[in-house]
Amino acid sequence: SQQGEEDPQALSIQEGENATMNCSYKTSINNLQWYRQNSGRGLVHLILIRSNEREKHSGRLRVTLDTSKKSSSLLITASRAADTASYFCATDAFFSGNTGKLIFGQGTTLQVKP
């Protein structure tokens, strides 16, 4: 079963615009991570936010986490054509201290038009 539900499933914007993707999850978590996947390739870790954090920045990326709503958002500012990829949230759910598994959402496919 998928813990993460991502919205929208697909997003198309012009270069220079901002892109926002949302992720909702169901169970308590230790942290939430965002990954990027270029077409047909392996996933690459982008950024992690812990359950006691509300916002985090890394370059043009901004992640927010609202544990009361069990949701997170990823904002990519000043998008570039090279940002075209699929983006996945992954939750590290809390199992009595065993953070052994990540549960991935279905992803948002972002297209940035030059």
Partner 1 sequence: DADVTQTPRNRITKTGKRIMLECSQTKGHDRMYWYRQDPGLGLQLIYYSFDVKDINKGEISDGYSVSRQAQAKFSLSLESAIPNQTALYFCATSDLQGGVNEQFFGPGTRLTVL
Does 110 contact partner 1 by CB under 8 A?
A: no
Three-class SS state of 7: strand
108, HSE (Cβ side, Cα atoms, 13 Å)? 27
Q: Is the Cβ of residue 37 or residue 73 nearer to partner 1 in the bound state?
A: 37
In three-state form (DSSP H/G/I as H, E/B as E, the rest C), the secondary structure along 35-47 is EEECCCCCEEEEE
Does 1 contact partner 1 by CB under 8 A?
A: yes
Does 52 contact partner 1 by CB under 8 A?
A: no
* Residues making contact with partner 1 (CB under 8 A): 1-2, 4, 30-31, 33, 40-45, 48, 88, 90, 92, 99-107
